[in-house]
Every structure is written in structure tokens, then in C-alpha cells.
Chain A
């Protein structure tokens, strides 16, 4: 067991080193970065902020990991967040009790995910196309729900999901951490991990072996939609309103990036939910750092792209056997010339 853990640790090295480097740079840019203080029974500080702001993408990345491991992708999660947020806000304003609101928003996300799953599993649409449909249509649905305006609310119960805290820990962090723990436990304790990897690597062979790959895909996409609606509720609760146009905008790309930075291949197969969450934290640490450093915001996206390229190249090198590969290339070219 200990041997296995060290192996996992070695594999996670590029990501852990990147995170440490980014945190260190953040510290250089903003010496108070690691300060944490307790105020009104809630923890505050830049480091807490990284996790708190990163929680929605962590949640998205958990669902996205399963989808990508099955050799798919879900472009609709941002739009599904908007749908869930819009539904939660509108129903709250209309006076529905909190449990009904939450269940309705989560149900909407699940339904969106199942829709994607049906298109992918039963109609054999390519995942990128299938989910593109809802990526576009979802924003329209959200706008229909909010009737084109930004719906704001003051209901403290719903707001608690975004800004509340329990035992000093902000709610988004608690929710993300619980979901992470549950998802990892389910994948480890059941056969789902193995079966998802199996259909991601070779769906045809998996079906030949008697796997119910269609149902499994449906469940995977349904789960991803559920995660997206949870993230949507948190964001709506945080800003105390639902903005159908901007809630979750481009977050599908951050979620995909988090999974890829975490080391799960876009070609499906081996995956690690924990590493995807780490990927999401790396992305958020970068965002926060750039804001703290006082760079003009225009540099934000470019810097982010550069850092990500470095991380991905580092991974690609280590998976290819690093520099040994390059050496081999040069050697073979040398002999060819002779």
C-alpha cells in the first residue's frame, strides 16, 4: 500500500511542483498570501480564497473527469450551471421553500446531463457535438427562465450555500470537499472506476465483454450534469442572483483544462478525480495570483495560457520518458544521415 502511494506521488509530481511554484510566486507578489485569520467565525485569507473561488470548477472537474475518462467531453456544463442558477433564483423569488428549490435545480442539471447521455450513448452522436447542442440551447433555456433579466434574491437560506460557513470553513469548500470524497469513494469501492476506464479505452471490446456501456455512459453524463447544477447553485448563491448570460460562462473550458492538467488523457482511459481537483486548484491559484500581483487584467489570460502550456509540456515529456526520448530521436537521425 505504501509502495503504491509513493508511485502515485511520483506521478503527481509535475502538478504538485507547479502548484508549489505558483503559490510561491503568489507569495512573492503578495507577501500576505499565506495569512489566514478567523473573523466572525469564518476563515479568511488569500489561500482560503483560492479554494473558495475554485470550488465551482473543482465540482465541475469531478463530473468532467468521468466524462473525459469515457472518451467524451461535456461542453454544456457552463450552460447547465446557468440553467440551474436561473431556476434556483426564479423559484426562490416565487416563494418556493429552499429544499424544493435545491432539488428542482439539481433535477434540472441531472435532466440536462441525461439528455447529453442519451444523445451520446443511444444515438451515437460524437460527444463534442452532442453537448454543443445544450451548450448553446442551455443559455436560451436559462434566459427563458429568468425572462431575460437578472433575477436577484435575498433569501438567506439559498445565499448560505455561497457565502455561509460551517465550523469556520466556507460552504463552497465544504460542498466541493464532500463531493470529492464521495466521488472518490464510489469510484474506488465499486467497479465503476474500472468499467469507466474500460469503455473509455475500448468501447467495442468492453461491449463484447458484456459491459452495459450505454447505461454506463448515460449515468456518467447524468452525474456530470448534476455536478454542473451544484456548481450553478453555488455561483448563484454567491452573487445573490442569476445572470443567464454570464453565469458559468467559459467554465466548461476551465473544467476540461483542470482534468487535463490533472493528467487524465482526452483520449479516455486512466483517470484520477483527486488529480483533476488538484488541476482546478492550480488554475484558481493562478487566477488569484495574477489578480493579487496587480498585473493589468489583460495579461491574465495570456499568462494563464503560458503556465498551462508549461505544465502540459512537462507532463508530455515525463510520460514519453522525458529527455531520454529526445536523445533517442537525435541518435536515430544521426545514424540515418550516415
Chain B
């Protein structure tokens, strides 16, 4: 298989967006009859690479070759014409049109200037029969499950392009059985000589179905290898890298473990999101939460904070049962959450630094109990100083601040409410080195002051630096806990890479 010439070859592709290099000299080869996993954490450049391959973006440098011939993709239609079909994560079909319409839209068989429905539906039935899918092609697509819609999208892409198929997280919303059906189709297409690019966050699936893997990190090629020759632990190392210089921080697992764990979550879970888990946390400890993207870390945070409703389970605080169904309930219990997606869930961009800092406290105090201008300014000044938020003016809209300073503003918003339990979801993502170190120092300081913290991070070294206990997640479930001197990078990596005991997803 290694000797086969590349069907689709990408050499030295670079792509920059305003002041930001999304792809930097990436090589990538898809051979006929192989399923090729494309992996990388968020922001690694996967989606940019896909968009370059499918003609959405034009590369700044590098060549794309199909069958050895250099090509320039003008747009998605041209890419399809050249043989590259794509199925996106959010299926790009028209749910309110029939299955047959979806398969043939834009190229319906015509007769006398009208669509020949009868022939179109016959062709649709024949096409889907190749995938062992027998359904009423004249009814609306929305009547069928996401899995069926996914297969229809694949059938359409294969029928139109017929060489290379790009699947962007096709299994993200499928259950185990549906995934099996999809995999059977992928194996069939592989046997027909297709080159398939498979993007996923589920490592088990990579080992189940893929032949080869390419890993991107920070826009660069981190490595490419045959799956059979790459142990899982090495794959995880490739994905996460070892880039951070937190070595300067002394590990804190010598910190005394609190005698009492005031916050107790039992059997919380949500179907298709995160398997039921137990979590106990006491004031004065930091729980680190490690796992790959999509392993259920953010989902855990969302359930704890009442953003997503849990299907089952109960919560006790100081031994008393409480109900948390909305973020308001969580705030009332003394919780705070700095969300992963700072821009869409964190900052209120057009509001000033002062207003952003006061927001959670104001929401807690109620509509008619306004913080006076003097209180607001006092609060903002205090936190700008305490957290060293770099801004010319507390009246500056927060959207004009750098990522690290925005993160500090959101931290300040919660610290102003004097929380007992703070959840930080990727607090150091996308911020500069200086702010990075400051936030880690702050986590340690808050913990020493007796706050309970749950910190989610992709950077293992960072987790090692501040955690008293570490919980490792994999395949949307809590898989294990490490504490004390066992908290080391290699132990956490081992656990992330370990084989799943039960069925995933």
C-alpha cells in the first residue's frame, strides 16, 4: 500500500489569515483505497486544510496534485468536478426536500424541460441500494435519522465526485450502531479504490477503520504514519506535543487534600453527551481535567453549571441536596464558569471592561438592585489592578482587549461574585505566554485561599503544575483519576491513550 502513487497529493501548502498562519508548509497524501485519518486539536489547521482541498480557500503557497497533475481548485464545484467530494459535520443537505431531490439537485434528469421525477426517483433508489439503504426516496429527508442523512450525503458526494471523499467528523452525532453502518459503507468504498479522508476526535475509531494517519499541530505537520505502526501513546504525543514551558512552576500535588469535600455530584450524565459520572470536590483543591477534544470535558462543565440539563443524578452542597437546572441556579450555589469559547459564551464584546466585570454580580443582585456607578468603578479598578488587566481605560469595550486580558476580565467577573467553586474551561487557550503564567499563578493562589477549582485543559504539563487530583476523560466518559505523586505527564498520557474497556460513545 505504501508504494501506491498518491491519488491526491498536497505539497508545502501554506495559508494565512490576517496576521495568523493557519497552515504552514503542510504535506499530505491520500492514496487510492485507503482511509486516511486527519487528526489535530482545535485550531491545529484541520478545517483550513479541508477548505483548501475542497476549493473554499485558495492556498498562499504549495501545490495540489490529482493523479500527479497539478490542479488549482477554483471553488467547491470545481473541486467536485476534479473528483473531491466533501461531507461536512453539519450535513449540508436540504431537509425539507425529498431524498431524491437531495441526491440530484442541480443535475436532475430532464424531459421536455421539466424534471423527470419518475426517472430521478428510480435512479435515487438504485444509488441508495448500493449502500443497502432502501427507503421511500420521495419523502422528505428530514423524516430520516441523522445517520441516514449522513449516508445520503455520502452517496451524493460519491456519485458526483467519485475519487476522493472527505468526511468531516461524520460520527460526531451517531450512536454505536449507526457508526457501524457508516463504517461498513466506508470499507466498501475503500474496496472500490476511493481515497477517504476521515476527520474525527475518536481515537478508537481511527484504529478501527483507518489505514494511515496524519496529525497536524499549530498549522504544521506533526507527523504521518501507518496506523499499524503507530502505538496509541505515540499518536497522543503527536497530537498534544510537548510545547509548554511550565517547568518553572513547582508541581502542587503536595498540597494537603481537604478533609471535607463540600461539593458532591453523583451520577450526573446526559445521553449522547457524557456518560454518568461522580465527582467530589472540596474547597482548597484543584481538580485537573484531561482528555482529548470531544472526550466530554466541556460537556462535563456544562452539566455541572446547569447549561445542559442532566438526564439523571443529584447534587449535594455541604451535604444538602440542591437542584441546578440553569446557570442562575449554579451561580446561586456559589459556582462560576469561565467557558471554553471566550468570544461566543464569555465576553459581551461591545460592553466596557467595567460592565463586563460587574455583570455576574449584577445579575446575582437582581434587576432593581443596581450597583452604583461608584461601586462599579471601584470593582473594576480593584480587579484591573489585582489581575493586572492591561487596558488603557475601564470604559474601553472589552472586544478591543487581547485574548489573555479578556480571559482575565471573565475571571474578574466571577471573582467579583466571590464564588466557592470555579470551573475554568481551557483558561489558557489562545493567550500569550505572559498572561498564561499569570493565570496559572492565579489558579494556585485562589486554591490556597480556599476556593474549589475544576480546570479543564489540553496542556498536560499545565495540569500537572496545578492539580491536586486529575480526572482523565475518554470517549465521552470519565475513565480514571490520578492523585498525589502519580500526577505526571506520562501517566496522564497513558490514561488518555488506554484502550476503552466498554463500548465507546
Interchain CB contact under 8 A, A197 and B351 = yes
Residues of B within 8 A of A207 (CB): 307, 326-327
Interchain CB contact under 8 A, B351 and A208 = no
Cα–Cα, bound, A204→B328 (Å)? 13
Does B17 have its Cβ within 8 Å of any Cβ on chain A?
no
Tally A residues with Cβ within 8 Å of B. 22
Does A181 have its Cβ within 8 Å of any Cβ on chain B?
no
Chain B 360-386 near chain A by CB (<8 Å), digits 1 or 0:
101111111111000000000000000
In the complex, which residues 294-346 of chain B have their Cβ closer than 8 Å to any Cβ of chain A? Answer: 305, 307, 326-328, 330-331, 337, 339, 344-346
Interchain CB contact under 8 A, A195 and B350 = no
Does A201 have its Cβ within 8 Å of any Cβ on chain B?
yes
Does A301 have its Cβ within 8 Å of any Cβ on chain B?
no
Range of interface residues on B (Cβ < 8 Å): 20 to 34
Residues of B within 8 A of A287 (CB): none
Given contacts A191-B368, A191-B370, are A210 and B348 in contact (CB under 8 A)? no
Residues of B within 8 A of A208 (CB): 305, 307, 327, 337, 339, 345-346
Residues of A within 8 A of B348 (CB): 197-198, 201-202, 205-206
Shortest B369–chain A CB gap in Å is: 7
Residues of B within 8 A of A202 (CB): 344, 347-349
Chain B 389-406 near chain A by CB (<8 Å), digits 1 or 0:
000000000000000000
Chain A 164-202 near chain B by CB (<8 Å), digits 1 or 0:
000000000000000000000000011110110110011
In the complex, which residues 258-313 of chain A have their Cβ closer than 8 Å to any Cβ of chain B? Answer: 269-270
Interchain CB contact under 8 A, A190 and B367 = yes
Given contacts A205-B347, A205-B348, A270-B350, are A190 and B368 in contact (CB under 8 A)? yes
Interchain CB contact under 8 A, A191 and B369 = yes
Chain B 215-251 near chain A by CB (<8 Å), digits 1 or 0:
0000000000000000000000000000000000000
Chain A 211-244 near chain B by CB (<8 Å), digits 1 or 0:
1100010000000000000000000000000000
Cα–Cα, bound, A35→B349 (Å)? 48
Cα–Cα, bound, A23→B364 (Å)? 47
Shortest B46–chain A CB gap in Å is: 25
Cα–Cα, bound, A190→B330 (Å)? 24
Residues of B within 8 A of A197 (CB): 348, 350-351, 355
Given contacts A208-B337, A209-B413, A210-B327, are A194 and B368 in contact (CB under 8 A)? no
Cα–Cα, bound, A209→B367 (Å)? 14
Cα–Cα, bound, A161→B330 (Å)? 48
**Which residue in chain A gives the minimum CB-CB distance to B371?**
A191
Interchain CB contact under 8 A, B349 and A209 = no
In the complex, which residues 129-169 of chain A have their Cβ closer than 8 Å to any Cβ of chain B? Answer: none
Interchain CB contact under 8 A, A209 and B363 = yes
Cα–Cα, bound, A246→B355 (Å)? 44
**Which residue in chain A gives the minimum CB-CB distance to B307?**
A208
Interchain CB contact under 8 A, A194 and B350 = no
Cα–Cα, bound, A47→B344 (Å)? 47
Pick the residue among A194, A201, A216 that contacts B362 (CB under 8 A): A194
Cα–Cα, bound, A206→B344 (Å)? 10
Cα–Cα, bound, A189→B368 (Å)? 8
Interchain CB contact under 8 A, B351 and A209 = no
Cα–Cα, bound, A207→B351 (Å)? 15
Shortest A66–chain B CB gap in Å is: 13
Shortest A187–chain B CB gap in Å is: 10
Shortest A195–chain B CB gap in Å is: 7
Given contacts A202-B349, A205-B348, are A210 and B328 in contact (CB under 8 A)? yes
Given contacts A191-B365, A191-B371, A192-B367, are A205 and B355 in contact (CB under 8 A)? no
Cα–Cα, bound, A192→B371 (Å)? 11
Interface hub of A191, A194, A208, A216 (most chain B Cβ within 10 A): A208
Cα–Cα, bound, A42→B307 (Å)? 58
Interchain CB contact under 8 A, B347 and A198 = no
Does B124 have its Cβ within 8 Å of any Cβ on chain A?
no
Cα–Cα, bound, A191→B351 (Å)? 14
Residues of B within 8 A of A191 (CB): 362, 365-371
Interchain CB contact under 8 A, A195 and B363 = yes
Residues of A within 8 A of B328 (CB): 210-212
Given contacts A204-B344, A205-B347, are A210 and B364 in contact (CB under 8 A)? yes
Residues of A within 8 A of B347 (CB): 202, 205
Residues of A within 8 A of B359 (CB): 194, 198, 206, 209, 211
Cα–Cα, bound, A189→B349 (Å)? 23
**Which residue in chain B gives the minimum CB-CB distance to A210?**
B331
Interchain CB contact under 8 A, A189 and B370 = yes
Interface hub of A201, A269, A270 (most chain B Cβ within 10 A): A201
Cα–Cα, bound, A208→B362 (Å)? 13
Pick the residue among B327, B330, B331, B362 that contacts A195 (CB under 8 A): B362
Interchain CB contact under 8 A, A269 and B350 = yes
Cα–Cα, bound, A212→B347 (Å)? 17
**Which residue in chain B gives the minimum CB-CB distance to A186?**
B368
Residues of A within 8 A of B371 (CB): 191
Shortest B346–chain A CB gap in Å is: 6
Pick the residue among B360, B366, B368 that contacts A209 (CB under 8 A): B360
21 contacts across the A-B interface (CB closer than 8 A): A190-B370, A191-B366, A194-B351, A194-B362, A194-B370, A195-B362, A198-B355, A201-B351, A202-B344, A202-B349, A205-B345, A205-B346, A205-B348, A207-B326, A208-B307, A208-B337, A209-B327, A209-B359, A210-B363, A212-B328, A212-B363
Residues of A within 8 A of B (CB): 189-192, 194-195, 197-198, 201-202, 204-212, 216, 269-270
Lowest 10 A-B CB distances belong to which pairs?
A: A210-B331, A191-B370, A210-B363, A211-B363, A209-B360, A209-B359, A201-B350, A269-B350, A202-B348, A201-B348
